[in-house]
A and B are shown apart, each in its own frame.
Chain A
Amino acid sequence: MMNLIAKPSKANIKTYVPIGLFFVSLSFLDVFVNAFFNLNLMGFLPSKLNYFLPLILGFIGFYLIRIEFSGVRFLDVLNKNINSNNLNAILTLFTIFIIIKSIPPMLDWFILEANFAGNSKDDCTGDGACWVFIKVWFNRFMYGLYPDAEQWRINTAFLILFAIVGISFFVSEKLKKYFILFLVFVFPFLGIKLISGGSFGLEYVESAAWGGLSLTFIISAFAILFCFPIGVILALGRRSSLPAIKYISIGFIELWRGVPLITVLFMSAVMFPMFLPDGTFIDKLIRVLIAITLFEAAYMAEVVRGGLQALPKGQYEAAKSLGMGYWRMNALIILPQALKLVIPGIANTLLALVKDTPLIFVVGLMELAGMIGLAKTNPKWLGMAMEGYVFAGLVFWVICYAMSRYSQNLEKKLSTER
């Protein structure tokens, strides 16, 4: 009898642990059966008690198995990580209950009750998601309104890109340089020519027809390409000793950073044409690209400035004492080190850029999110917002998560080299 009310300790481990584990598993079993089979095991109890029973059982169970230095490895790990005190035990129980409870409805919606086969909304009979919607519109979500017959051009452009990037990982250092130069200075313009057409016997496809995920990639790629050098120059300008250049840079950076992107896009759409001579027309896509590039360049500049400021003064002095001029010093000594310091910041800016691309809906261009907006208002496909946005969210999430993981790896790799 004394043994049963004593505090759980190594002395009574033989009685307490089995009872505790039994209580804990009973509480999980109750929630599990309730969630998956809609059965209430403890239905005979009064309703309030029945409701809190899993929590009470689990709490008692966790209390009983909380034995310090039990000598059993499994028990020690368990106690240390999820059961270190009463509060942690309750938090653990809540977390596990919520996870168990939310699995069946999620599973139902995503897979079990969802519809995969068919070609129209009428084929969606289940309560779950209507993935038919995504299947039917998939082509549009990827290529926008780009003509079906010409889509091989987009595919080719991206395939060449991936091929070059892939090959450049395996070639020698010397060749790699030329691959990168080609990628940065030649390929973007070749690719855009291939996609827009108008020469070499390729049919011209106006930029208003571009869209979907491919447009997201095109805009992101070009904006990244241009915003990086502009950002570096602005950062150098802000740190310049020449007052005029310094203050112009500061003004430029702070202007873009102080306003939301959406107003910048508005400006490029309605205000910018007013500033051009009557009759000149700049393509909408190009205007948007300029707007996004300048906007993100300002953020890039601040990130690069952080790196420049973090470098010890000795680096500048050493470079100067070797007789280097301003540009040589920055290109060979300062920037390589400063940029390495701010890789996380650069990655974050590029991530923000990719996440900002859906905003081009403001000027009527439709990338992935915009195409979903278009598809869900199609009279034949009303009520498909959930499927569409979950799909778009997943696609963007995969892209952004991959980018952030890559930058973390890059950071690790470069920091060990130092």
Chain B
Amino acid sequence: MSLKKLNIENKKIRNLIPQALTVLALLSVIIYFATNAQINMGNRGISFGFGFLNQEASFDITFSMIEYDGSHSYGRAFLVGLLNTILVSVIGIFFATILGVVVGISRLSDNYLIAKVAEWYVEIFRNIPLILQIFFWYFAALRALPLPENGISFYDISFLTIKGWYVPKFIWTNFNIFLLSVIAAFIAIYFIYSYATKQREQFGKQIPTTIISLVTLILIPLITFLFLGVSLTFEYPVLKQLSPTVFTYAGGVSIIPELIALALALSMYTATFIAENVRAGILGVGKGQKEAAASIGLNKNQILKLVVMPQALRIIIPPTTNQYLNLTKNSSLAAAIAYPDIVLVFAGTALMQTGRAIEIISITMLTYLTLSISISIFMNWYNKKMAIKEK
């Protein structure tokens, strides 16, 4: 008995020693770094703290979604950068998904040419570093666009020029009511869906939910236009002469070339990975599933919608989440072409001005960590929802 006990004790101690050593080593490294940092900061006469976030930033940012100028604080500048990062990530994710799904399905096309073109698209864009693609679009392709006075016009409401893409601006009256109506429409659609599901499961009734929800989505906001005083007008960009040789567009919204280049490169690069995921997902659904679905009389669309896609999505979503995360992190390459994202604005300009390396880099990294973790939490939730429910 005593031998056995000794053995357990031994094992416990054996397990404890490496753990204790690791923790000790980690702690000593941290303490070493911390003391050095304290001494270094003491030498430079700065103290650790986040008070600088309230100080006046006194630098301008070329592109901002919220009101900002030099008189605002560093905290506000951080927010501007963060919103710009989120903007380009959302745009990138949107287009990468569409392009990726199209290319992924095309790779499985029974049309040899389409499949080959899609395959080469993937091989080409996946194997060129993203940063080079961004540089290519920004320094080479978009610089070849015409000057504002001969901008490429789309029906005279939108102009593509070397200085950016000018699009009409939406001017809303009573936008809040409109927004509420859209939310109401979505809530209504949710109830329609749950009602339809119940009807189908209990009585086997089929309700054309797609058409009904489309109508709801159009009808409810339309009512606000007709009766609740919501209206929408457009402000079109108009060519304006600043001096005999310099032209610009007044009015409308200008989408800066940095944003276009970044969004293009991010979505085209990430689309190749999403395409591979989509292809793998569709290939992963067994042939027997399709045949079984066909044998119980489903038509081609129903097979795709009810049998293949739900199963394929389960394979596609986890790796695609990773790609969304990668895209968000890759959007930090914006700093290379001076798109004012969080890295350029905060870890670049703000750091240069304040010299608070530790605080600013930590905040930036924490922000990305939070973004990454929140996307992965959302996707995990979605994944769980899509998982096979065994009855």
Which of the candidate stretches A89-97, A281-289, A309-317 sits at the interface with the other chain? A89-97
Instruction: Report which of B22, B113, B329, B335 forms a contact with A245, defined as CB distance below 8 A.
Output: B22
Instruction: Report which of B112, B117, B130, B365 forms a contact with A81, defined as CB distance below 8 A.
Output: B112
- Please tell me the size bucket of the interface on A: 35 or more
Given A271-B357, A275-B37, A396-B132 contact (CB < 8 Å): yes
B227 CB to nearest chain A CB (Å): 43
Assess whether A243 is interfacial by the CB under 8 Å rule: yes
Q: How many residues of B contact A (CB 8 A)?
A: 56
* Complex Cα–Cα for A271 and B136 (A): 31
* Complex Cα–Cα for A56 and B51 (A): 70
For A359, what are the chain B residues with a Cβ–Cβ distance below 8 Å? Answer: 131, 333
Interface digits, A79-110 against B, CB 8 Å rule (1 contact, 0 not)? 01110100010011001100000000000000
Which of the candidate stretches B120-128, B196-204, B242-250 sits at the interface with the other chain? B120-128
B124 touches A278 (CB 8 A): no
A351 CB to nearest chain B CB (Å): 8
Assess whether A171 is interfacial by the CB under 8 Å rule: no
B139 touches A262 (CB 8 A): no
A248 touches B112 (CB 8 A): no
B203 CB to nearest chain A CB (Å): 37
Interface digits, A274-297 against B, CB 8 Å rule (1 contact, 0 not)? 111110000000000000000000
Interface digits, B346-370 against A, CB 8 Å rule (1 contact, 0 not)? 0100010000011001001100110
Instruction: Report which of B113, B126, B129, B369 forms a contact with A356, defined as CB distance below 8 A.
Output: B129
In the complex, the chain B residue whose C-beta lies closest to that of A355 is: B129
B143 touches A263 (CB 8 A): no
Given A263-B332, A358-B132, A362-B335, A243-B19 contact (CB < 8 Å): yes
For A392, what are the chain B residues with a Cβ–Cβ distance below 8 Å? Answer: 132
B361 touches A244 (CB 8 A): no
| Residue from A84, A276, A362, A389 with most neighbouring chain B CB atoms (10 Å) | A389
B128 touches A400 (CB 8 A): yes
For B357, what are the chain A residues with a Cβ–Cβ distance below 8 Å? Answer: 270-271, 274
Interface digits, A393-414 against B, CB 8 Å rule (1 contact, 0 not)? 1001100110010000000000
Assess whether B338 is interfacial by the CB under 8 Å rule: no
For A263, what are the chain B residues with a Cβ–Cβ distance below 8 Å? Answer: 332, 343, 347, 361, 364-365, 368
Given A259-B365, A392-B132, A274-B111 contact (CB < 8 Å): no
Assess whether A255 is interfacial by the CB under 8 Å rule: yes
Instruction: Report which of A243, A276, A355, A390 forms a contact with B136, defined as CB distance below 8 A.
Output: A390
Main secondary structure, interface of A, reads helix
* Complex Cα–Cα for A278 and B43 (A): 9
Interface digits, B228-267 against A, CB 8 Å rule (1 contact, 0 not)? 0000000000000000000000000000000000000000
- The residues in A between 223 and 277 inclusive whose CB is less than 8 angstroms from any CB of B are 241-245, 248, 255, 257-263, 266-267, 270-271, 274-277
* Complex Cα–Cα for A80 and B115 (A): 13
Given A258-B373, A260-B330, A274-B19 contact (CB < 8 Å): no
For A356, what are the chain B residues with a Cβ–Cβ distance below 8 Å? Answer: 129
Assess whether B98 is interfacial by the CB under 8 Å rule: no
* Complex Cα–Cα for A88 and B135 (A): 36
Assess whether B387 is interfacial by the CB under 8 Å rule: no
B92 CB to nearest chain A CB (Å): 14
A389 touches B135 (CB 8 A): yes
Assess whether A180 is interfacial by the CB under 8 Å rule: no
Offer 9 A-B interface pairs, CB within 8 angstroms, sorted by A: A91-B113, A257-B372, A267-B365, A274-B36, A277-B36, A355-B130, A359-B333, A372-B135, A393-B128
Binding site for B on A (CB under 8 A): 80-82, 84, 88, 91-92, 95-96, 241-245, 248, 255, 257-263, 266-267, 270-271, 274-278, 351, 354-359, 361-362, 369, 372-373, 376, 385-386, 389-390, 392-393, 396-397, 400-401, 404
